[in-house]
Copies of this chain bind each other. A is one copy, B any other.
Amino acid sequence: MELFWRQGYVATGVAQIQAETRVLPGSFYFFFKSKELLLLAVLDRYMEILNSALRDPVVEKTRDPVERIFTLLGFYRRQIRESRFELGCPIGNLALELGNRSPAAREKLNALFDEWRGMVQSFLAEARDRFPPGTDFKAISTFVLTTMEGGIMLARANQDVRQFDRAVKELRNYLNLMQTGKKAVSRKRSRT
């Protein structure tokens, strides 16, 4: 999981996996018939741990449903910085790198995206009263996801989280604008 995360799928050789896990080739191929099947197992694992590793900590840490979105984004921000811009989103990395080279992997990545997006949507649903009637929460949750993935991409290319912060700031401003009664606007120097 970690090697695919840090280096990508193609750039990670089976030999390196074997070396770092201290598993010999024959043993490796006893459990995984191919490198691709290992990848699929990794993606299954991501799906398994999504709630416990992501949703639960967020819900635990933040009560306000809308604010949970920004706590979630904050987790990724922290990961980028603490890894010195090495680690982005493992799902996003693999999705872009693989394209449709492995349709099975693509399907799983798509399911992971949807699970993540659904989590955000469920946060929004809790706060549905604050938004205008008929608000498209599914679209907004997708928007949160694109902001996160795009923000990480820019942060890594720039080796600086400012671009990530800018995108998140705009997202926040948007959600504020939509919520009844709030009047925040995108201003240059404000931190909120």
The distance in angstroms between the C-alpha atoms of A110 and B159, with both chains bound, is: 9
Within the complex, what minimum Cβ distance (angstroms) separates A144 from chain B?
9
Interface pair A97/B96, CB less than 8 Å apart: yes
Q: Which residues of B contact A187 (CB under 8 A)?
A: 134-136
Number of A residues contacting the other chain (C-beta, 8 Å)? 54
Interface pair A142/B154, CB less than 8 Å apart: yes
Q: Which residues of B contact A146 (CB under 8 A)?
A: 146-147, 149-151, 153-154, 163, 167
Q: Which residues of B contact A110 (CB under 8 A)?
A: 157-159
Q: Specify the main secondary structure of chain A where it touches its partner.
A: helix
Cβ proximity bits A56-74 to B, threshold 8 Å, 1 near / 0 not: 0000000000000000000
101-122 of chain A: CB within 8 A of chain B: 101, 106, 109-110, 113
Stretch at the interface among A22-30, A32-40, A46-54, A170-178: A170-178
Interface pair A156/B96, CB less than 8 Å apart: yes
Interface pair A145/B139, CB less than 8 Å apart: no
Q: Please name 23 pairs of A and B residues whose Cβ atoms are closer than 8 Å in the assembled complex, sorted by A.
A: A11-B97, A11-B101, A88-B96, A95-B156, A96-B153, A109-B157, A110-B157, A110-B158, A110-B159, A113-B154, A113-B157, A139-B186, A140-B186, A142-B163, A142-B166, A145-B150, A146-B149, A146-B150, A146-B151, A146-B163, A174-B174, A174-B177, A178-B186
Binding site for B on A (CB under 8 A): 8, 10-11, 85-86, 88, 92-93, 95-97, 99-101, 106, 109-110, 113, 132, 134-136, 138-140, 142-143, 145-151, 153-154, 156-159, 163, 166-167, 169-171, 173-174, 177-178, 185-188
